[in-house]
Structure 1
Amino acid sequence: MNPLRRVAVHLGARPWLPRCARVIVGVDRAIQKLTRGRFTLLTVTGLPELMLTVAGRKTGLPRTTPLLCVPYGGGWLVAGSNWGNPAPPAWVHNLSAADEASVRFRGTDSAVSVRIAEGAERDAMWRVLVATWPNYDLYAERIEREIPVFVLTPK
């Protein structure tokens, strides 16, 4: 295992980390822009990351955010954890309202269909997500809402 991955998982469990989110995301976006999406903060730790672009539900303008992901079944899984904050991240509302979005993964762009996993399927996919990022279970313990699991499938 990449030793930086252990560091990332350790830092990801800290309750103060969400306060640094804007700086972390800003640095990540800069790295992705400079490398044309080939490298990210997470990929240097051995963790998979994608850039999700989805139309804003109110404005219709494209919104892009870097997300930890898990490649799964030819597509990707993402969790709306917001690092264990009580409120979901804004992208969750946008993605929930969308039928489609686009993903940049390892420098390649893909149009994707979007759906939310529910019931037994969600439980199974949650275990897949936790196998990649164990902190998802910690985040779920910190909050009262159920963290949504999105399935992104290439068109």
Structure 2
Amino acid sequence: MAGMPQRFPDGHWGREDISPLFKPALAFASTAVGSRVIRALVPLDRRVLRATKGKYTLFGPTSMPELLLTTTGRKSGQPRLSALSYLREGERLLVLGSNFGQQHHPAWSLNLLANPEAVVAINGIEIPVTATLVTGPERDAGLARFLAYPMYQAYRTRTDRELRLFALTPR
């Protein structure tokens, strides 16, 4: 039906459950060395995600589900692409601004605060979204879901800033 928001498709790769087979990969991602390796691979992963519109990722089935988020640069006004892990919450997607535990917020989160309209690509489908900063008890519940993954526990211990949680809703 015209004018109705599009639903998010299922991702091609990535899992929300923590399979025992993937625990070594998650444990590695939790280490400082693992974070540096993954952070170094993110630009290449972003190119793979862009070329496939979010259908494939370098990290394959061993990672959480990934999406490609296109925000508008708050200073430049230009499209900015970010490869992010996400969790589903009903008809919304949750993304966390962990930035691998670095002391500064990721640029994409600053862009969403300045302009909450963005585009998500998952499994080859692009969907316009509106981002909402999640706060209070709802944030605590969403954060707890991310903290079930050991790498997010590690990221949280590396910084004293509050990790921003956003809900992405189809427009």
Please classify the TM superposition score into its range, dividing by the shorter chain length: 0.7 to 0.9
User: Aligned to 1:10, which of 24, 27, 36?
Assistant: 27
Amino acid of the residue matched to residue 144 of structure 1?
A: D
Retained in 2: the 8 A contact 1:112–1:153? yes
The total of aligned residue pairs comes to: 153
Counterpart for residue 154 of structure 2:
138
Give 3-state SS (helix, strand or coil) of 1:12's partner: helix
Retained in 1: the 8 A contact 2:133–2:164? yes
Shift of 1:59: 0.8
Structure 1 position 97 matched with structure 2 position 114: yes
Retained in 1: the 8 A contact 2:53–2:125? no
Give 3-state SS (helix, strand or coil) of 2:147's partner: helix
Unaligned runs of 5+ in 1: none
Per the alignment, do residues 53 and 110 of structure 1 end up closer, same or farther by CA in structure 2, a change over 3 Å counting? Answer: same
Q: Deviations over 1:85-128 (max 9, x none)?
A: 11111111111211211100122111111111111110011122
Q: Determine what percentage of the aligned residue pairs are the same residue.
A: 37
Shift of 1:16: 2.7
Give 3-state SS (helix, strand or coil) of 2:109's partner: helix
TM-score normalised by L of structure 2 = 0.80
RMSD: 1.9
Retained in 2: the 8 A contact 1:53–1:101? yes
Unaligned runs of 5+ in 2: 1-18
Q: Aligned equivalents of 1:45 and 1:19: distance in 2?
A: 17
Deviates more, 1:31-40 or 1:50-59: 31-40
TM-score normalised by L of structure 1 = 0.88
Shift of 1:22: 5.0
Structure 1 position 44 matched with structure 2 position 44: no
Counterpart for residue 37 of structure 2:
20
Structure 1 position 150 matched with structure 2 position 166: yes
Runs ≥4 in structure 1, deviation > 4 angstroms? none
